Amino acid sequence: METPNLNPDKYHFIKALRPFSFSVALISCGLGIAIAFARGEGDWLRAIDIVLCGLLLQGASNLANDYADIQFWSNSNHPDEEGVIRRIKNNFCFAGIFTLTAIVMGLWLVSQVGWELFVLAIFGITAGYFYTGEPVVYKHRGLGVPAVFILTGVLMVSGSYFGMTGVWDNQVAMISIPVSLLTAALLVANEIRDYVDDQNDGIQTLTVRMGFDLARTVYIILLFAVYPISITLYLYDFLQQPAFLLASLLVVWQPIKLLNFEEGSAALKKLPPLTGRFFLVFGLGFIAALF
């Protein structure tokens, strides 16, 4: 398989960990926790456990995400082929360690709220594995974006609330929609950045399937849709102080401006971290708006 854009640097541990994406776990878990506190059902010990589990699973997902790339490096004749494959496998091992640690920590929560949480967690971990794991591989089927919307958005927020209260609440799933849209936007930002490489490597992400221009449009829609949806939630009394969302308008324009660059531009490398920053600012404002 021809792979003209092999980049060995992306597999170094810190880069593979993708720290900018940790805003997803912080905000998604934090939102479920905040809803519980807003309803008078908060517990700080459970909250800390949930956030740590979320961060561990986010890190595990990021590290495991590159495992499928081994097929591109095998027999590539790249001078760093063996070193890269070793780093990918080491990262995958760390992903397993992170996951097992999260499971052990999560078992305490299960003892507090019931076995249903264990089933929910195992479903989430298994579904997350199939993002790049065989035989499903959402990423290669163009299903990564909707999968992330559900798994690291709706399910993570609702699961965090369940971990706090032992109750599944469909209203929590509704409240999670703006945050879930931004988890999807963050993945689209990654796919836009990697568009040329994915296209050349035959990786059929959603962005490759729909084309660079349409992906940029979808990205913009995902970012700005959170505001009318949040106002709707306010009108239905799910949010109390929507003014807290205004601060996010100050940081939404930086990633939008990057969309003026052509596909493959080095400037697009900044798109995921700037999207992560917007996600964090909006998410914190959204959580504050609950009270």
Compare 94 and 131 and report the one with higher pLDDT. Answer: 94
- Model pLDDT, residue 133: 65
**The pair of three-digit structure tokens given for residue 248, joined into one six-digit string:** 């996010």
Q: What is the pTM of this model?
A: 0.87
169 is written with which tokens?
Answer: 């609440």
pLDDT-based confidence at 127, cuts 50/70/90?
A: confident
Q: Is the pLDDT of residue 240 over 50?
A: yes
Question: What's the chain's average pLDDT?
Answer: 90
Q: Identify the pLDDT of residue 5.
A: 56
pLDDT more than 90, % of the chain: 69
Residue recorded with tokens 């519980």: 36
Residue 81 is encoded by which pair of tokens? 């082929």
Please give the structure tokens belonging to residue 46.
């459970």
The token duo for 53 is 């589990």
Confidence at residue 3, expressed as pLDDT on a 0 to 100 scale: 43
What pLDDT sits at residue 4? 43
Least confident of 120-124, 216-220, 242-246, 270-274: 120-124
Residue 20's pLDDT band (cuts 50, 70, 90): confident
The region of weakest confidence among 101-110, 129-138, 144-153, 169-178 is: 129-138
| pLDDT score for 61 | 84
Q: Walk me through the domains of the chain, giving residue ranges and CATH numbers.
A: 8-288 (1.10.600)
3-state SS, the chain, equals CCCCCCCHHHHCHHHHHCHHHHHHHHHHHHHHHHHHHHCCCCCHHHHHHHHHHHHHHHHHHHHHCCHHHHHHHCCCCCCCHHHHHHHHHHHHHHHHHHHHHHHHHHHHHHHHHCHHHHHHHHHHHHHHHCCCCCCCCHHHHCCHHHHHHHHHHHHHHHHHHHHHHCCCCHHHHHHCHHHHHHHHHHHHHHHHHCHHHHHHHCCCCHHHHHCHHHHHHHHHHHHHHHHHHHHHHHHCCCCCCHHHHHHHHHCCHHHHHHCCCCCCCHHHHHHHHHHHHHHHHHHHHHHHCCC
Range 66-85 burial, b when 16+ CB lie within 10 A, else e? bbbbeebbeebeeeeeeebb
Q: Among residues of the chain, what percentage have pLDDT more than 70?
A: 97
| Amino acid 2: pLDDT | 41
Report yes or no: 106 and 121 within 8 Å, Cβ to Cβ.
Answer: yes
For residue 278, which phi and psi values (nearest 5 degrees)?
-60, -45
Q: pLDDT tens across 37-85, in order?
A: 999 998 999 999 999 999 998 899 889 878 877 877 887 778 888 888 8
pLDDT digits (tens, 9 = 90+) for 140-188: 788 889 999 999 999 999 999 999 999 999 999 999 999 999 999 999 9
Tell me how far apart the alpha carbons of residues 194 and 22 are, in angstroms, rounded to a whole number: 19
pLDDT digits (tens, 9 = 90+) for 183-222: 999 999 999 999 998 888 788 999 999 999 999 999 999 9
